[in-house]
Amino acid sequence: MRIVITGGAGFIGSALALALQEKHEILLIDTMQSSTLLDNGNLKYLGHFKNLLNFQGELFVGNINKTQTLKQIKAFKPDIIFHKAAISDTTFYNQNAILRTNLNSFKNIIQLCQKLKAKLIYASSASVYGDAPSPQQVGKDENPKNPYAFSKLMMDKLAQKYASELHIVGLRYFNVYGKGEFFKGKTSSMILQLAHQILAGKNPILFEGSDTIYRDFVYIKDVVSANIAALTAKSGIYNVGSFQARSFQDIVDILQAKLKTNLTCKYIPNPFAKAYQFHTQAFCDENFAYRSQFGLEEGIDDYLPEIQRLFAKEVNA
């Protein structure tokens, strides 16, 4: 198969590329990290060359908002497009900028897939549910709380219009963690951030009430499996989680048990409380052949050697 992965130097895109490269011809599209900042001071583009050190395929550095980039995708003649490129920062509130990148470019990619007769698997997000009751289910109580979440819900609505004429699958990722997320910096998972605080001997910092803030944390290897399952799924939108809700306090407790530390947590007020998700848990759709293999303990176990390598080679380098 010939495969294009947009956002291919980012966390999820690069993991997918590395998993698929042995059997397929791959072209990655990414802007790559630069000094460009979002209004909130975070980096705009998070793709990093170190995510691709073991990648054997082709990389085109381009912006999915640009016709030139779409031409490159078309010329490659892909059978499948995994569309992961996005402004993925949930704390960036510039509606115009986020919707132009996440939504407008998506329509162009859909139309390109129609012309190419290519399958399209794209990244949606559990953020679309907002404070909908758990377990969150596709088509039920979606209530986005920020422009990022709204952009993903609009992508899903657009995708549904094309579901009868195209193989188009949207994957609503819950909180993803694992190898390849380090270069997301402040927007990397709390699993990585808390582990690095603990390894540095610092008091782990949590929001007040973290023992009652629950999320569905899903490991990157499960996310790769879900993308592969999407290739043979019926067109539609599916949740990608671990199907378990665990608290942020659980993360610290698991990490401290594994790292044999007993640091006191420091609790701070939650600055995002107004637009925060306090309980997420994916509903498992029987019609989608993906099943999670990693609970939080298993995922952290598998990830820990990489967390420790990053701490030695990147944090303390």
Which amino acid type is present at position 36? T
CB 85 within 8 A of CB 100: no
| Residue whose C-beta lies closest to ligand NAD | 10
**CB-nearer residue toward ligand NAD: 146 or 247:** 146
Sign of the torsion angle spanned by Cα atoms 135, 141, 147, 148 = positive
Structure tokens at 198: 């603990």
Amino acid in position 108: N
User: How far apart are the C-alpha atoms of 137 and 133, rounded to whole Å?
Assistant: 9
Could you tell me the two tokens for 71? Answer: 């031409």
Is 184 among the residues known to form the active site?
yes
Place of tokens 């011809």: 25
Specify the stretch interacting with ligand NAD by CB under 6 A; choose among 5-13, 156-164, 263-271, 287-295: 5-13
- Residue 187's CB: how many other CB atoms inside 10 A? 16
Closest separation in Å from C-beta 241 to ligand NAD = 10
Site for ligand NAD in 8-47 (CB under 6 A): 9-13, 29-31, 45-47
Site string for ligand NAD, 132-171 (x = CB under 6 A): ----------------------------------------
| Residue 306 CB, nearest approach to ligand NAD (Å) | 16
7 binds ligand NAD (CB under 6 A): yes
64-68: which pairs have CB atoms within 8 A and are 24 or more residues apart?
Answer: 64/6, 64/29, 64/101, 64/105, 64/108, 64/109, 65/100, 65/101, 65/104, 65/105
Q: Which of 179, 184, 219, 221 is catalytic?
A: 184
Considering only residues 99, 123, 138, 166, which one is a binding residue for ligand NAD as defined by CB under 6 A?
Answer: 123
178 interacts with ligand NAD by CB under 6 A: no
Q: Please identify which of the residues 45, 122, 148, 290 carries the catalytic annotation.
A: 148
Concerning whether 202 is annotated as a catalytic residue, the answer is no
The region, left, alpha or beta by phi > 0 then psi within -120 to 50, assigned to residue 241 is beta
Q: Which is nearer to ligand NAD, 12 or 110 (CB)?
A: 12
Alpha carbon distance 95, 21 (integer Å): 35
Residue 71, number of CB atoms within 10 A of its CB: 12
How many residues bind ligand NAD, per CB under 6 A? 27
| H helices, E strands: number in the chain | 9, 13
Contact 119, 80 (CB under 8 A): yes
3-state secondary structure of 294: coil
Smallest distance from the beta carbon of 48 to ligand NAD, in angstroms? 7
- For position 184 contacting ligand NAD by CB under 6 A, the verdict is yes
The reply to whether 176 sits near ligand NAD by the rule CB under 6 A is: yes
Binding status of residue 101 toward ligand NAD by CB under 6 A: yes
Piece of 62-70, 108-116, 259-267, 284-292 that binds ligand NAD (CB under 6 A): 62-70
Beta strands 246-247 and 214-215 are antiparallel
CB of 60 to ligand NAD, least distance (A): 10
Quick one: 256 or 314, whose CB is closer to ligand NAD? Answer: 314
Q: Could you list the residues that contact ligand NAD (CB under 6 A)?
A: 7, 9-13, 29-31, 45-47, 63-65, 84-88, 101, 123, 125, 173, 175-176, 184
> Which residue numbers are catalytic?
148, 184
